[in-house]
Amino acid sequence: MYSVDTVIGHPGSSPKERQEIQLKWPQEGLTAVPDWIYTNPDIYSREVERIFHGRTWNFVALAAEIRSPGDFKRSYVGPTPIVVARNTDGSIHVFENRCAHRGAEFCRDLRGNVKEFVCPYHQWSYDLCGNLRGVPFKRGLKKEGGMPKDFHNEDHGLRRLNVAILHGVVFASFVADMEPIEDYLGAEILRDFETVFKGRELKIFGYYRNELPANWKLYHENLKDPYHATLLHSFLVNFGLLVAGNKSAMIADKSGRHGTMASAKGDDVGTNVDASSRKEMRAFRDDMKLNDSRLLDYVREFDSPWSVTMQTIWPNLIVQRELNTLGIRHIVPNGPNSMIMIWTMFGYEGDSNEMTRHRLRQGNLMGPSGFLGLEDNEAMKFVQEGVRRSPTDKGVLKLGGDSEGTSASLISESAIRAMYRHYREVMGL
Amino acid sequence: MIPGYDLTPPDPKAVRELRLEIEEFHAAYCWTLDRGAIEKWPDFFTDDALYRITGRENAEVALPVGLVYAEGKAMIRDRAFAIARTQMFAPRYMQHFVSNVRVVAAQESAIKAQSNYLLLQTLMEGPTTIHQSGRYYDSFARQGGRLLLSERQCVYDTLIIPNDLIYPV
């Protein structure tokens, strides 16, 4: 069910949600997380203003989705609907999906190809860069009505966003003087980002969308939390894909906001789980065997020590490279208690038919029905319900002590603490 | 929308018996899933069956991705085993409603039909909600006198999935 369908304990029904809170971080510092960052509407508003509409590069599209002039895609910066369009000269433009006249969200199709955008309400028309081109009856009719003489089309274009494109990934920002996207990502993150995107044309396989009834930050936390991966996910545990003891790392950038969860699959999948780890992991089952082991085949196609990298790129992008299944997840925050996830799955141009099918088969691991994906969605929903409905008011982040940033151990919450260091600075908390 | 199903359908009167047989197949299939006997679900497929669930936005432009994408009964079995025994999710009830069965090909070598489905979900403390509205594109093979799915493509209109889709459609 969608979060709006909640019957018992629906959002707004918990006394905790109505409490006047001081917005004062717990005195433990980063080893504790206050519940109100997940539930408070004022915090959410501040996040939209300072993070999604602030000094960040937000993912909006893959260039491969809009290959030809006139191609467009409906997308989002934070919760704000925008349009990404390719102009006749090949350049990519991003503008608000809001007619400059009366505010109608004029672009209704998820994607398509047009010569111009026309608002259906009064048929104001815009070019592929967002400039206002036509206003019907601009000079009135029979010398009556119409726009005043000082109305100039160039003053009434769509609100345009700053755009950066890196290896076919399109980012946008409401801030005009953003640093270059490479600097924003930082060297640590750029390395694994380039492994997926640099020098290869993507081939789009398609989309999944879901509402995840949880605060958007929980998705970042989940992928900066390798501890859960070794415990919650029976597929990872049983087939040795990510097990305490595998070669792995949780990498953070210098700012703490981005991350890469990386691991290298052992060669003998399923046999490299030692007895002492096995004992700690309840998800381990001796009887779990695949009838079709192709699901977990790994074709070594990248120049990387890692077979898996899951990148969290602040504030709204996940880059998934899980063996040979590739995709991005676009996080659209939807109020404090909800986010929309848009998944774009892809392979590469030039993949053989068998490689495409291999990626599609392996896709069963991820997404809202994936063997890993569905467990994450369930777990995050449980967290949101817990923090919203219980009188207890904070969570514990003590794994790995109070270290912040990159961690060689999977049994650490160091990268989450680094993210909240950054978050608190930006949010003034 | 799914290649192979845009056929000129035979006269419905001439294939009434086959339609009835397919409706009975749907009833048995849904009863198996809705009563929670998920490990019996693979029995409705041929060994080389394709089972795929995908959003209508993908199907309409021939994008190949599957929310679930299983090539062959072995992969279908693996999913059934995982959902039945190892995956973590909150308990729930599901009910399938299948209607508007249209036979689009009726040769014994190629039996194809499409049907609308409605999938309802009830969480333990939630209301009963429409979890998915969609359409089956089915190809059947007759083995030992019994219909089996050699292909089932479930194309859903409900593009924004409410959190996740746990059980098969």
**Can you give the residue ranges of every domain in chain A?**
64-165, 200-427
Which chain B residues touch A8 with a CB distance below 8 Å?
A: 125-126
On whether the CB atoms of residues A244 and A214 are closer than 8 A, the answer is no
B51, burial (CB in 10 Å: exposed 0-12, middle 13-18, buried 19+): buried
Q: Class of the A200-427 domain?
A: alpha beta
* Distance from C-alpha of A417 to C-alpha of A397, rounded to nearest angstrom: 7
Question: How many A/B residue pairs have CB atoms within 8 Å?
Answer: 140
ipTM of model over 0.90? yes
In chain B, residues 38-67 whose CB comes closer than 8 Å to chain A:
53-55, 57-58, 63-67
On whether the CB atoms of residues A230 and A410 are closer than 8 A, the answer is yes
- Is CATH 3.40.50.620 the classification given to domain B12-156? no
* Distance from C-alpha of A161 to C-alpha of A153, rounded to nearest angstrom: 18
Q: Is B81 on the interface with A (CB under 8 A)?
A: yes
* Distance from C-alpha of A46 to C-alpha of A40, rounded to nearest angstrom: 10
Are A210 and B164 an interchain contact pair (Cβ–Cβ within 8 Å)?
yes
* Distance from C-alpha of B169 to C-alpha of B51, rounded to nearest angstrom: 10
On whether the CB atoms of residues A231 and A262 are closer than 8 A, the answer is no
Q: Superfamily for A64-165?
A: Rieske [2Fe-2S] iron-sulphur domain (2.102.10.10)
- Residue A345 is encoded by which pair of tokens? 């799955």
Which chain A residues touch B164 with a CB distance below 8 Å?
A: 210, 368-369, 373-374, 377-378
Give the sign of the dihedral formed by CA A370, CA A372, CA A375, CA A379.
negative
Closest-CA residue of B relative to A342 is B160
On whether the CB atoms of residues B23 and B101 are closer than 8 A, the answer is yes
User: Residue ranges per domain, chain B?
Assistant: 12-156
Question: pLDDT digit string (tens) for A375-405?
Answer: 999 999 999 999 999 999 999 999 999 999 9
Residue A266 — very low, low, confident or very high, per pLDDT cuts 50/70/90?
Answer: low
Question: pLDDT digit string (tens) for A73-131?
Answer: 999 999 999 999 999 999 999 999 999 999 999 999 999 999 999 999 999 999 999 99
Question: pLDDT digit string (tens) for A16-59?
Answer: 877 778 889 999 999 999 999 999 999 999 999 999 999 999 99
Radius of gyration of chain A (CA): 23
Are B89 and A374 an interchain contact pair (Cβ–Cβ within 8 Å)?
yes
* Distance from C-alpha of A418 to C-alpha of A253, rounded to nearest angstrom: 9
Residue A175 — very low, low, confident or very high, per pLDDT cuts 50/70/90?
Answer: very high
Which residues are bridge partners to A318 per DSSP? A312, A329
Question: pLDDT digit string (tens) for B57-87?
Answer: 999 999 999 999 999 999 999 999 999 999 9
Q: Is B84 on the interface with A (CB under 8 A)?
A: no
Which has the higher per-residue pLDDT, A161 or A243? A161
- Residue A46 is encoded by which pair of tokens? 């501040």
Q: Is A91 on the interface with B (CB under 8 A)?
A: no
On whether the CB atoms of residues A416 and A218 are closer than 8 A, the answer is no
Q: Which amino acid is at A356?
A: T
